[in-house]
Amino acid sequence: MATATVDLEGTGTLSTTETMSANSITIGDRAQALNVYLSDNTDGTFSIGNNTDAVTLPNSVWVEVYRRESTDNTGDKVVYFATGSGRGTQNIFYRVTA
């Protein structure tokens, strides 16, 4: 299971798989944004808050996948990730900012 938790700011790398429910980054309630970079030549997917409503995560480019609204004080947010089908394990680099 590839997971990370960042309370306010931080960077790191997750070795993710094709199973979305197994790969997540949790950002604290004071963090403002999550940017990720999928190091592959095939797109992956991501979903905010659950692992079923996935959208495309472009490969080889930094993408802001979450930005907290000024009125959103509902606690930590979990963002789930998966690599493209048939890609096995790939790295996702992440940056959480305050």
pTM over 0.85: yes
The pLDDT of residue 72 is 66
Q: Alpha-carbon distance 80 to 21, whole Å?
A: 7
One-letter amino acid for residue 92 of the chain: I
Model pLDDT for residues 14-50, shown as the tens digit of each residue: 999 999 999 999 999 889 999 999 998 899 999 998 8
Region class of 32: left (phi > 0), else alpha (psi between -120 and 50), else beta: alpha
Enumerate domains of the chain plus CATH numbers: 2-97 (2.60.120)
With CA atoms as reference, report the closest residue to 57 among 97, 11, 25.
25
